């Protein structure tokens, strides 16, 4: 479980939430799974450029163990596995919106009018 990697994660909501999204690619994964559910492993690999197979698998497992993503295995050949957000994961994504708006407003390079929608995604 991921949930005790930050100090105070056992009694502070923020630290606990940070523990869940701690991992270089997790926010990107949440983002992609929100944009379109039922993503396959290879799709995610392509959608999140730079992540290795090992780390992608590991972070998906952690998100699964934390109840954020659901992993559906189809018994076919070739194999097929689909990942999607759980209701809890969708709530988490919602809770991240305020943070995303703050970042967009204050940190991103000044956007041309019309660009940079409310919650722009990675890559």
* H or E segment to which residue 4 belongs: none
Nearer to a second copy, 17 or 57 (CB): 17
Helix or strand holding residue 80 (H, E) = strand 80-85
Residue from 13, 50, 67, 120 touching DNA (CB under 7 A): that is: 50
Give me the 6-45 binding string for DNA, x by CB under 7 A, dash otherwise. ----------------xxxx--------------xxxx--
Residue 54 as a binder of DNA (CB under 7 A): the answer is: yes
Q: Tell me: does residue 36 bind a second copy (CB under 8 A).
A: no
Rounded Cα–Cα distance for residues 81 and 71 (Å): 7
106 binds DNA (CB under 7 A): no
Distances (CA, A) of 119 to 41, 50, 73, 108: 24, 22, 30, 12
Where on the chain is the footprint of DNA (CB under 7 A)?
A: 5, 22-25, 40-43, 50-55, 57-61, 71, 78-81
């Amino acid at each position: 479980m991921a949930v005790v990697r930050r100090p105070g994660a056992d009694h502070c909501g923020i630290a606990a939430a940070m523990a869940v999204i701690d991992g270089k690619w997790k926010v990107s994964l949440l983002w992609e799974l929100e944009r379109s559910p039922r993503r396959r492993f290879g799709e995610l690999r392509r959608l999140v450029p730079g992540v290795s197979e090992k780390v992608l698998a590991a972070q998906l497992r952690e998100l699964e163990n934390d109840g954020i993503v659901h992993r559906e295995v189809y018994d076919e050949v070739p194999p097929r596995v689909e990942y999607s957000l759980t209701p809890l994961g969708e709530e988490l994504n919602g809770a991240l919106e305020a943070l995303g708006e703050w970042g967009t407003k204050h940190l991103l390079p000044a956007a041309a009018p019309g660009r940079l929608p409310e919650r722009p995604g990675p890559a």
